[in-house]
Amino acid sequence: MDYSTLAMQLFLTGIFLSSLYILVTFGLTMIFGVMEIVNFAHASFAILGGYACLLAVTSLGMDPFVALVPVVAFMALVGWLTFEFFARYTLDVGDAHVVHYYALLLIISNVLALIFGLDYKFVPSGLGYSQIELGPFKYPLLKFLVAIISLATVAGLSLYLKKSVIGKKIRAVSQSKESAEIMGIDSLKIRRITWIIGVSSAGLMGALVGLVNPFSPYAGTTYLIVAFSVAILGGMGSLFGTIVAGFIIGMTESLFSLFLPSQISPVVAFVFIIGVLMVKPEGLFSRA
Amino acid sequence: MLEVKQVSKYFGGVQAVENVSLAVEEGEIVGLIGPNGSGKTTLFNLITRIYPLTAGDIYFKGKLINKMSPSDVCHLGISRTHQIPRPFHSLSVRQNVSLAYLYGRKNPGDRAEANSEAERLLELVGLKDFAQIPASQLNDVQCKVLELARSLATDPKLLLLDEILAGLNPGELTFFQELILKIRSELKITVFWCEHIMRVLMKTVDRVVCLDYGRKVCEGSPSVVANNPEVIECYLGKAAGE
Amino acid sequence: MQAINQGNKKTVIVLGILTLAALALPIVGIPYQEYAMSVLTFAFIYTLLGQSWNLLGGLAKQFSLGHAAFFGLGAFATAACSSLGMPALISLAVGGVAVAVFSLPIGLICFSARGPYFTIITLAIAEILRIVFLWRPELSGSEGILLPPSIFSTRIGIYYLTLGLTAASIFTFRWMARSKQGLALVAIGDDEDACSEIGIKVKYIKSSTLLVSAGMAAVAGGCYGLFTQYLSPNDVFSINYSLEAIFISTIGGIGSAFGPLVGALLVSLLEETLNPLVPGAHLLVLGAILITIMFLLPKGLVTLFKKSDDKQGPRMQIKIKRRQPAA
């Protein structure tokens, strides 16, 4: 393999990782911005999405990419239920809310463990090892499609936040809940929508990851740390920061995969974020 | 006693404090005035080392304190109150003060001494009857005096007061004014005091420094500063047609 | 005063009876003796872990999500000492001290951040250790390691060991909480900047508390290893231990000395009862119980045992009392 192929390979893998990281962090950072909640259960919603996709493909016999649509719908339902029966009651408990979300994390991951067992599963994509040709370069078609879908989702969500009325209201509440309420915005409704978007985007990310990597009920921890690494690096609550930070961490991890065995590659993101926080405790692009 | 030499502080591109120099001599009560956002609280945060300096030097009793930690600055003898009081809500009123005694002094005594000193200070500020209740149950004014007692417990040589009069009624204003004079005369503590309530401030202080947009506008005795056209301008704006 | 002293006396008597019962349990034959001992042994190990979290999380509100790191390191350090031929007790002590020392650089890293940032760093450190231990066969590898049998791999041995350590941990916590440092920790939990402005060296206080906390968690891990005689990184570094440490302290009563014991008994009882029926079910039930308690009794189960006037009353509004002007 010559150097340009290798460089292209690393670049595409970096894009692939970044796209997933940005997608999972997007919801986390939105929920933090609008609800002031640090959602430690975020990655378990991703894993839930993975299992939902698995069921849709294996039990209902759907095409995995078609299945993403009902998966997102299902996750939106999960988001609505968890908001109405859980999240809305944690809005005014202050810092102690982290314990509520640890409990939610425990419940979701162990319900999954009870139903599906602790074995690693993956969603059969049916694409196998087919490659896509990008000019002189080849790249696995599956990863390429996954990256395209998650980047498109992120772009769509960003556009929605920027242009739509609801998006503007969401941004208003995230800047100041009180002022937004004075302007007649129903902040509870906005928070519900934010929570549902966050949960569904996490579920979508989980389903996409499930197509590429095996997962288990407890695998959320890794994605949780990665998502937080990206969110913190991007300065919790900043969407632009999230995107930049997602690319930084995804690319770095891809680069380090040259020197490190694959099982310890997540360590790169963890060490990276610890280093960043030691130098700049409030993140690189913090709003403050 | 306190020397601030050409100090600047930028937050990103915003100049919060720019090239400010001033000095506070031992035994003085110096007022710090200026419109909202003129950098008064930022200057206090720079002196107590909560924020790092962008440029300049701060000396206290001849020692450069630029690189010291906030706790070292406290041990040197600088203590402060906050615009919005920040007592420790989980502790009792007396514990708030005795904690400051135990950690704020270079050679603190034992717990018993801390408690009796705390009682003494609480009596001074008029909170003696509330010593045992949790600080979370105090009202806003009581929180202010608690914070003042807590600052005094660290045995400061210089006390920084940050808008301690904001939101008080006339009776309470007199109480605080007397208290501040007493702190200087009985406890021999120098006071550097940032305030908006001119009526009380001007009657109490020896000297006033005025900041606007992070820059020092003027400095001098209360009557000189009060009649300085630049000071009037920064509070009231330029007269029309000028 | 009288009432308080009498209350204390009652508490002392009840605790004395409970302690005697706990001491007598292995000797006096009762039905379900083995079951009770095994529930209690794990409850004691969890109490150590919970108490260790409670020191930082309960007093200073530093919500660590990485206590599995110290638990797992303690387990592996004890195992390493044992396989070098040290006696079990010495291995446990060496393990605890080694991990306590190791916590100093960890503290330097963690305590540069606050709030959720602190939490996520602690979580990342535990994950890094898990991944590194899985990766390097000389540390453990995915197969895990075995410990040589010792007096503490017997049911009675480990029972008395953990019982004694639990008592010690409760005394340590009470001593720390009532000390000058305990006061400072509570203040740090309220407002860190205000603490440093009254001369408290916040990082020093936090780090020295982490030292004790890490040592305690390491000893809990060591006991776990000595008893089970088998350690794998996926088990001892798992986020479940970090979560359990939080639950144990929070369910029982955050920042209270006996809270972790109450919480640990509940966790262990659930685990020993439900796990044989449906593996993992106890964690699910635990999560549900925790959410219920957090909503209904934010100060934990120990509030149920306290007199009603100890609970937070309505917010009092008291007017400032002013003396007459002197002149």
Residues B28-71 have pLDDT tens digits of 999 999 888 888 999 999 999 988 888 999 999 999 998 899 99
Q: Does C185 touch chain A (CB under 8 A)?
A: no
Asked if residues A112 and A51 have their Cβ atoms less than 8 Å apart, the reply is yes
> Does residue B77 register a pLDDT over 90?
yes
Nearest to C131 among A38, A264, A274 (CB): A264
pLDDT value for C19: 85
pLDDT at B82: 93
| Contact residues, chain C, for A270 at CB < 8 Å | 124-125, 127-128
Residues of B in contact with C317 (CB under 8 A): 139
pLDDT value of position C306: 61
Per-residue pLDDT at A1: 60
Residue A282's pLDDT is what? Answer: 66
**Contacting residues of A for C278, CB less than 8 Å apart:** 114
Task: Kindly determine whether residue C190 and residue B89, on different chains, have CB atoms separated by under 8 Å.
Answer: yes
Is the pLDDT score of B99 beyond 90? yes
For residues C57 and C63, the answer to whether their CB atoms sit within 8 Å is yes
pLDDT at C93 over 90: yes
Q: Check whether C317 has a pLDDT greater than 50.
A: no
C114 → chain A, closest CA residue: A281
Task: Assess C68–A contact: CB distance below 8 Å, yes or no.
Answer: no
* C11 or C210, which is more confident: C210
Domains of chain A: 3-279 (1.10.3470)
Which of A96, A218, A270 is the closest to C124 by Cβ?
Answer: A270
**Minimal C-alpha gap between A277 and chain C (Å):** 6
Write down the mean pLDDT value for chain B.
90
C324 — pLDDT class (breaks 50, 70, 90): very low
HEC string for chain C: CHHHHHHHHHHHHHHHHHHHHHHHCCCCCCCCHHHHHHHHHHHHHHHHHHHHHHHHHHHHCCCCCCHHHHHHHHHHHHHHHHHCCCCHHHHHHHHHHHHHHHHHHHHHHHCCCCHHHHHHHHHHHHHHHHHHHHHCCCCCCCCCEECCCCHHHCHHHHHHHHHHHHHHHHHHHHHHHHCHHHHHHHHHHHCHHHHHHCCCCHHHHHHHHHHHHHHHHHHHHHHHHHHHCEECHHHHCCHHHHHHHHHHHHHHCCCCCCHHHHHHHHHHHHHHHHCCCCCCHHHHHHHHHHHHHHHHCCCCCHHHHCCHHHCCCCCCCCCCCCCCCCC
Mind telling me how many Å the CA of B149 is from chain C's nearest CA? Answer: 11
What are the two backbone dihedrals, phi and then psi, of residue B218, each rounded to the nearest 5 degrees? -160, 175
pLDDT of amino acid C312:
42
Residues contacting A28, CB < 8 A, separation 6+: A39, A42, A198, A202, A227, A228, A231
Q: Which residues of A touch C132 (CB under 8 A)?
A: 264, 267
Q: Could you report the per-residue pLDDT of C220-253, keeping only the tens digit for each?
A: 999 999 999 999 998 999 888 998 898 888 887 7
Q: Which two tokens stand for residue A57?
A: 């493909």
* Closest CA of chain A from C103, distance in Å: 15
Q: Judge: A281–C117 Cβ closer than 8 Å, yes or no.
A: yes
The pLDDT assigned to C17 comes to 87
> What secondary structure does DSSP assign to chain B, as a single string?
-EEEEEEEEEETTEEEEEEEEEEE-TT-EEEEE-STTSSHHHHHHHHTTSS--SEEEEEETTEE-TT--HHHHHHHTEEE--SS----TTSBHHHHHHHHHHHHSSS---HHHHHHHHHHHHHHHT-GGGTTSBGGGS-HHHHHHHHHHHHHHT--SEEEEESTTTT--HHHHHHHHHHHHHHHHHH--EEEEE-S-HHHHHHH-SEEEEEETTEEEEEE-HHHHHT-HHHHHHHH-PPTT-
With a cut of 60, say whether residue C321 has pLDDT above it: no
Contact C190 B91 (CB under 8 A): yes
Q: Do B86 and C191 make contact, defined as CB atoms within 8 angstroms?
A: yes
A96 vs C294: CB contact, 8 Å cut-off? Answer: yes
Average pLDDT over residues C204-230: 95
Residues of A in contact with C117 (CB under 8 A): 232, 277, 281-283
Q: Are A114 and C284 a contacting pair at CB < 8 A?
A: yes
Chain C contact set for A272 (CB, 8 A): none
* pLDDT of C307 strictly over 80: no
Domain ranges of chain C: 44-309
Residue from C111, C186, C191, C320 whose CB has the most chain B CBs within 10 Å, to mutate: C320
Computed over its alpha carbons, how large is the radius of gyration of chain B?
18
Question: Quick one: pLDDT band at residue C78, thresholds 50, 70, 90?
Answer: very high
Residue of C nearest to A86 (CA): C291
| pLDDT for residue C326 | 38
What's the mean pLDDT in B207-221?
Answer: 90
CB pairs under 8 A between B and C: 96
The reply to whether residue C200 touches residue B79, judged by beta carbons under 8 angstroms, is no
Please state, rounded to an integer, the average pLDDT across all residues of chain C. Answer: 85
Probe site for chain C from B98, B102, B103 (most C CB atoms < 10 A) = B103
Per-residue pLDDT of chain A (288 residues), as tens digits, is 678 888 888 899 899 999 999 999 999 999 988 888 889 899 899 999 999 999 999 999 899 999 999 999 999 999 999 999 999 888 877 777 888 898 898 889 889 988 998 888 888 887 777 888 877 788 889 999 999 999 999 999 999 999 999 999 998 988 888 888 888 899 899 999 999 999 999 999 999 999 998 898 888 888 888 888 888 888 777 788 899 999 999 998 888 888 888 778 888 888 888 888 777 766 666 544
Please name the residues between 68 and 107 in chain A that touch chain C, using a CB distance below 8 Å: 86, 89, 93, 95-96, 98-100, 102-107
What's the one-letter identity of residue A244? V
Please give the pLDDT value at position B64. Answer: 94
Residue in this structure with the two tokens 């206080």, named with its chain if needed: C205
Q: Specify the pTM.
A: 0.87
Q: Which amino acid, one-letter code, is at A52?
A: A
| C322 pLDDT above the threshold of 60 | no
Of the pLDDT bands very low, low, confident and very high (cuts 50, 70, 90), residue C305 is: low
Per-residue pLDDT tens digits for B143-199: 999 999 999 999 999 999 999 998 888 888 999 999 999 999 999 999 999 998 888
Nearest 10 degrees: Cα torsion C263, C133, A229, A87? -30
Q: Which residue of A lies nearest to C284 if distances are taken between CA atoms?
A: A107
Residue A99 to residue C117, Cβ atoms within 8 A: no
pLDDT in tens, C253-276: 777 888 899 889 998 998 888 888
- Beta pairing class for B207-212 and B215-220: antiparallel
Q: Average pLDDT in the C143-152 region?
A: 89
Determine which of A35, A225, A230, A265 to mutate to test the interface with C (most C C-beta atoms within 10 Å).
Answer: A225
Chain A contact for C132 (CB, 8 A cutoff): yes
Cα separation, A204 vs A74, whole angstroms: 10
- For position A66, what pLDDT does the model report? 92
- Put simply, the answer to whether B139 touches C317 (Cβ < 8 Å) is yes
Q: Please answer whether residues A239 and A115 qualify as being in contact, where contact means their C-beta atoms are separated by less than 8 angstroms.
A: no
Tens of pLDDT along B105-143?
Answer: 888 888 899 999 999 999 988 888 999 999 999 988 899
Q: Which residues pair with C81 in a beta bridge?
A: none
Tell me if B113 sits within 8 A of B150, measured CB to CB. no
Smallest CA–CA distance from A36 into chain C, residue: C116
End-to-end CA distance of chain B: 40
Query: What's residue C215's pLDDT?
Result: 97
Q: A: neighbours with 3+ CB pairs under 8 Å?
A: C
- Say whether pLDDT at C1 is over 70: no
pLDDT of residue C255: 78
